[in-house]
Each structure stands twice: as structure tokens, then as C-alpha cells.
Chain A
Amino acid sequence: MVAPVIVGIVVVILIIFLVGNYNALVRLRNQVKNAWAQIDVQLKRRYDLIPNLVETAKGYMKHERETLEAVTKARNIAQQATSAGAGERAKVEGELSSALSRLLVVVERYPDLKANQNFLALQEELTSTENKISFSRQFYNDSVLRYNNKTHMFPSNVVASMFKFKEGEFFEVTLAAEREAPKVSFT
């Protein structure tokens, strides 16, 4: 008489445990997906901004063809790699970021360009987009960390392996150039 009741209680507890953990895992995985989509939005915004920026800067920066070309090239490479995984994308986007920051340092030498209203507006957009990229990356990595913790830690790891929740991939900055703030030399 008592045994079936106990078995019933155990089964109910197990089901609650399974459902709860499964839902938590799904929620975290969705958050990771959303965060990834956020990064994507910002990266696309950057692809759109760069041609305008280069076009505006070209007229003023006669002696910086290489810098401008490097930016355009890095942008095109990054745009082609949009379907790659997080690791590969982080690398090409990092390359683009450092090309852009080199350009923004060089801009300091052109007071005429810095006085151009159009360029100033573009520069604000670009600065903000760079920030948004790094903030969305920050949020993405936080989300991945939380999701991975959940898939590794007991008891949720049991549910994770049962339903094959795969570990998330961090969006790491691989380039040393991007990790350090660009150095301005006054020579």
C-alpha cells in the first residue's frame, strides 16, 4: 500500500526535476541564440557604414590610400565570412576592428576632415557601432558562460546530456591588436 505511493511521489519529483531543468536549458540556449543575433545585427550595421565612411574620407585623405584600402578589404573579407562559426568570425571581425581603429587614429592628422559634419556624424555612428559590437559580444559571452555552466553542473548536466544540449562557443577576441588600445605616437 505504501510502496506505490512512494514510487508515485518519486516519479512526480523526477518529472518536475526533468521539466524544470529542460526548460531552464532551453531558455538559456535561446538567450545565447538571441545574443548571437544581436552581434550579427551590429556587424551588418558596420558593413553598411564602412563604404560611406571611406567615401567621405577619401576626398580628404590623399596620402592614406593604403589605410583606406585595408579597411575596405577587411570589410569584404568579414562580410564573406558571415556563415562561419563564432571562432572564425571573431578572427576576421577582429581584423576589421583593428583596421578601423588605425583609420580613426590617422584621421587625427586631417583637421579639415574632422570639421566635416557628415564625417562627424559617421564617426559617431561608427564609434557607437564598435561599442555595440563589443557590448553585444560581452552579453553573448556572459550568456554562453551561463548556458555552459548549466550544461556542466550537477544535476542539470544529466538532463543536458540526456537531451544532447551542446556547449556554446565563446566569441573570443583572438587578435592582440584588438585587445590593446591603439597607441597614438606623437612624432
Chain B
Amino acid sequence: MWEQIRSNQIRTAALTIGMGALLVLLGYFLGLYFFGSPAAGLIIAILLWVILSLVGYFQGDSVLLRMHGAKKIRPDDHPRLYNTVEEMKIASGLEAMPDVYIIDDPSLNAFATGRDPKRASVAITSGLLQKLNRDELQGVMAHEIAHIKNRDVLLMAMCSILLGTIVLLAWYGSRVMIFGSMTGSRRSSSGGGGGNIIIVVVALVFMILAPIMAQLIYFAISRKREYLADASAALYTRYPQGLASALEKLGASSGQLKAANQATAPMYIVNPFRKRGMRASDLSSTHPPLSERIRILRTMSGGSFNDYDQAYRQVHRGGKGVMPAGSIAAGAVPLAAARPEATSAEPDAMQRARETSDVMWRMSDYKTIPCDCGAKLRVPPGFREPRVRCPHCGKTHQV
């Protein structure tokens, strides 16, 4: 069942090569149009791509985390979150413990980043953290760890950079072309009138089509990866209901994540730009519809990829499965029973909200002083007085 990852890589590689070919063709026609030689365009396109890729490879994760204002937590900042991540790290057999980040944002989302499984991070918004119970949190973290384990994180980052390069080239190319043809300064260098018009038309069509095609390929890769991550999450937790119910909670909210944009959208557990009631066969979406993902997880009768595949086919009423054939020949994987004793010992929604806000205050260097009357005093980091009075009951506390 673990060979799944490898066989899926071949299909993904084909799609990625397709995207790379788009970039090369775009560079070729741009060069032909502007400089009269394809080589110059190719060099510019590839140079731009290499530079962006290098930046993305070495700095991508920290840029993404900083963009969201994500804060790294230590194990005792939020034991339940850290523990569930560690549990999933163990279940997946990941080599190193990923860093855990919290994003102070009321919207519900989570993502994984990092260039390889040895140096990865998972991040969750504070909004999602307080909404989920332990089983759901475990499901979400299993999904994110699966992205790391399946090496989706780097792949999607690199694909989004490839897409970005194509979009960038096409955008500037078409601008220069439109304004350049107005003044009529270019194009005199290349000879042959008839061939010239063909090149212009092809280049123009290509500049319009390349970004769209690249985006569609990108979406196709991304969606396949989401199914695989869901299937892996079920395999790790042996409890697909946990992730399913987390996705239900995610689907019920429509808040958008502040720092998200179209290029990074596939990195999140659910599409940050989602709207409710998305169409089932939406081609231009980075994520499969939530309702469909939930239904697949809910109909699973075992924890293996095979069970996921069967559930997928059941939901889609026959047709081709989502898992490559070579990967699913494996023994039965029984599901874990629902854990009644875990739910009773767990903090309820109100306690989770308090716990999360405590963590957020603490990480912004606020001191928290519990007063006997039940109020909690938040002392800001620059506070100079030695004592503070409780505004609720009037008792004074040492800072």
C-alpha cells in the first residue's frame, strides 16, 4: 500500500513535465516574436524559472509562514496539538518531527510546508484549533502529515512557481506586445512577411492559453494529491470519521484566510476561497468538493487505500477509481472503533476556545494572572507597574 506514493509520482511527473513544456513553448514563441530567435526567449524563461525556484526551494516555507504571521509552538504551549502532530508523525513513520505553528486567524484552515520530510512544518489557524475535538484534530494533522510524507509539499510549491513563471511571462509578454505593436517599433528585424504573421498569431494565442492550461494542470495535480492525502490520513488514523467530521466543520464556515492567494491555494486543507455548495465537477478548483471528500471518508469500511478506492467508486457510482491499480493490492486494514472514553475526558468547545486564546496571548508575550474571582488578567509585555488591580473584584495582584 505504500508503493502507492511511487506509482502516483509517475502520473504527477507527466503532468509536471507538461507544465514545463508549456513554459518552454512560451519562451520559444516569445523569443521568436521579440528577438527573432527562440534561444533568447528560452533563456529568459528558464532563467526566471530557475531564480524563482531557488528562492522557493530555500525560502518558500519561511515566506509562507511569515506571510500568515504564524507562530511556532513548543510542546507545552499547546500539548494536545503538539501531541496529535507527534502521534501522526509516528503513525506515518516520518523521519523527523515537523515544526508546529499556530496562525492567529478566526477562519478555519491548516496547511503543511517545507522542502523535504526532514524539515517540514504544519500550521493551523487558531479558529480551527478551537473548533476541533481530539479525533478531528488528529484527522486534520494526519492529512497534513500525509502531504509531507507523500512529498506533495515541495511538489506543489514547485508547481506553483512554474505556474507563476508562466503567468508572469505571459502577462508581461502580452503587455509589451500590445503596446509595442501600437508604436510599431519591433518586428522589423525578422524577415519574411507571411511567416511573421503566423508567429504573431501563434505567440498571441499561446500567451492567452498557456496560463489557463498551466492552471488546469496545476489543479489536476492538486486534486489528485488531496484524495491521496485523505486516503493516507484514513490509513494513519484508522479512523476516517475523524477527518470527515473535521471537514464538515470546515465546510460549515465560509470565512476566508487573510493571507491566502490563488497560487498558494492548493497548500491548504480546504480551498481558502471556497464558497458553499460548490459544483461537483468543478474543473477550475484546487480541491475536490468537500461534500464529496466527506462522503468518501464516511463510506469507507476499512483503513487501506483499497477501501478508499472502493468508497470513491461507490460515491461516483462506478467508473475509474482514484488510486492507481498497483498500489491497492494489500491486506485488510481494520478501522479503529469509536473511542467513547476519549470524548468524555476531553475539553468541550468553550474550554478549547479559552485554551486557544490563552496560548495566543502567551505567545504575544502577555502575562496571564488568574484572579480568585474567576477573571483572567492579561498583562501586556510593556507593563511597568509592580502591581495590577483586578477590574472585576478589585483585588490587587503582583505582576
The contact string, 1 if C-beta is below 8 Å from chain B, for chain A 41-57, is 01000000000000000
Considering the chains assembled together, what is the distance between the CA atoms of A108 and B344 in angstroms?
8
Considering the chains assembled together, what is the distance between the CA atoms of A104 and B337 in angstroms?
18
A121-B79, A139-B93 as given contacts; A128 in contact with B341, CB under 8 Å: no
Q: Is the CB of A136 within 8 A of B341?
A: no
Kindly specify which of B51-59, B82-90, B189-197 makes contact with the partner chain: B82-90
The contact string, 1 if C-beta is below 8 Å from chain A, for chain B 63-87, is 0000000000000000110011011
Residue numbers in A under 8 Å from B92 (CB-CB): 139
Considering the chains assembled together, what is the distance between the CA atoms of A124 and B134 in angstroms?
10
Contact of A155 with B by CB under 8 A: no
A104-B341, A124-B80 as given contacts; A131 in contact with B93, CB under 8 Å: no
Residue numbers in B under 8 Å from A121 (CB-CB): 79
Considering the chains assembled together, what is the distance between the CA atoms of A121 and B86 in angstroms?
17
Contact of B331 with A by CB under 8 A: yes
Considering the chains assembled together, what is the distance between the CA atoms of A2 and B117 in angstroms?
49
Q: Is the CB of B331 within 8 A of A145?
A: yes
Q: Is the CB of B345 within 8 A of A184?
A: no
Q: Is the CB of A128 within 8 A of B2?
A: no
Candidates B83, B91, B238, B338; contact of A128 at CB < 8 Å: B83
Residue numbers in A under 8 Å from B317 (CB-CB): none
Residue numbers in A under 8 Å from B84 (CB-CB): 128
Candidates B90, B138, B339; contact of A38 at CB < 8 Å: B90
Contact of A174 with B by CB under 8 A: no
Q: How far is the CB of B81 from chain A (nearest CB, A)?
A: 11
Task: Name the CB-closest residue of A to B142.
Answer: A135
Q: Is the CB of B83 within 8 A of A138?
A: no
Candidates B91, B134, B338; contact of A138 at CB < 8 Å: B91
Q: Is the CB of A127 within 8 A of B342?
A: yes
| A:105-125 near B, CB below 8 Å | 105, 107-108, 114, 121, 123-125
Contact of B218 with A by CB under 8 A: no
Q: Is the CB of A181 within 8 A of B341?
A: yes
Q: Is the CB of B344 within 8 A of A128?
A: no
Q: Is the CB of B90 within 8 A of A136?
A: yes
How many residues of chain B are within 8 Å of chain A by beta carbon?
Answer: 25
Q: Is the CB of A135 within 8 A of B79?
A: no
Residue numbers in B under 8 Å from A104 (CB-CB): 341, 345
Counting chain B CB atoms within 10 Å of each CB, the highest count among A42, A135, A139 belongs to A135
Residue numbers in B under 8 Å from A146 (CB-CB): 2
Considering the chains assembled together, what is the distance between the CA atoms of A182 and B2 in angstroms?
32
Contact of A35 with B by CB under 8 A: yes
Task: Name the CB-closest residue of A to B138.
Answer: A131
A127-B345, A138-B91, A146-B2 as given contacts; A184 in contact with B340, CB under 8 Å: yes
Candidates B86, B88, B341; contact of A184 at CB < 8 Å: B341
Q: Is the interface of B mostly helix, strand, loop or mixed?
A: helix
Residue numbers in A under 8 Å from B342 (CB-CB): 127
Q: How far is the CB of A146 from chain B (nearest CB, A)?
A: 7
Q: Is the CB of A181 within 8 A of B93?
A: no
A138-B238, A181-B337, A181-B339 as given contacts; A123 in contact with B345, CB under 8 Å: yes
Residue numbers in A under 8 Å from B337 (CB-CB): 180-181
Residue numbers in A under 8 Å from B206 (CB-CB): none
Contact of B236 with A by CB under 8 A: yes
Considering the chains assembled together, what is the distance between the CA atoms of A180 and B334 in angstroms?
13
Task: Name the CB-closest residue of A to B238.
Answer: A138
| B:313-351 near A, CB below 8 Å | 331, 337-342, 344-345
Contact of A67 with B by CB under 8 A: no
Q: How far is the CB of B369 from chain A (nearest CB, A)?
A: 15
Q: How far is the CB of B29 from chain A (nearest CB, A)?
A: 44
The contact string, 1 if C-beta is below 8 Å from chain A, for chain B 137-171, is 01000000000000000000000000000000000
Contact of A157 with B by CB under 8 A: no
Q: How far is the CB of A151 from chain B (nearest CB, A)?
A: 16
Counting chain A CB atoms within 10 Å of each CB, the highest count among B83, B341, B342, B344 belongs to B341
Q: Is the CB of A101 within 8 A of B341?
A: yes
Task: Name the CB-closest residue of B to A138.
Answer: B91
Q: How far is the CB of A16 from chain B (nearest CB, A)?
A: 19
Residue numbers in B under 8 Å from A123 (CB-CB): 345
Q: Is the CB of B87 within 8 A of A131?
A: yes
Task: Name the CB-closest residue of B to A124.
Answer: B79
Considering the chains assembled together, what is the distance between the CA atoms of A128 and B88 in angstroms?
11
Contact of A91 with B by CB under 8 A: no
Task: Name the CB-closest residue of B to A135.
Answer: B91
Q: Is the CB of B341 within 8 A of A135?
A: no
Q: How far is the CB of B144 from chain A (nearest CB, A)?
A: 16
Task: Name the CB-closest residue of B to A101.
Answer: B341
Q: Is the CB of A132 within 8 A of B87?
A: yes
Contact of A97 with B by CB under 8 A: no
Q: How far is the CB of B391 from chain A (nearest CB, A)?
A: 24
Apart from A104-B341, A104-B345, A128-B87, 7 more pairs, CB < 8 Å: A108-B344, A132-B83, A135-B87, A136-B91, A139-B93, A182-B341, A184-B344
- Minimum-distance CB pairs A-B, first 5: A128-B83, A135-B91, A135-B90, A131-B87, A136-B90
Task: Name 12 interchain pairs, CB-CB below 8 A, sorted by A.
Answer: A31-B93, A121-B79, A124-B79, A124-B83, A125-B79, A127-B342, A127-B345, A132-B86, A132-B87, A142-B2, A142-B93, A182-B340
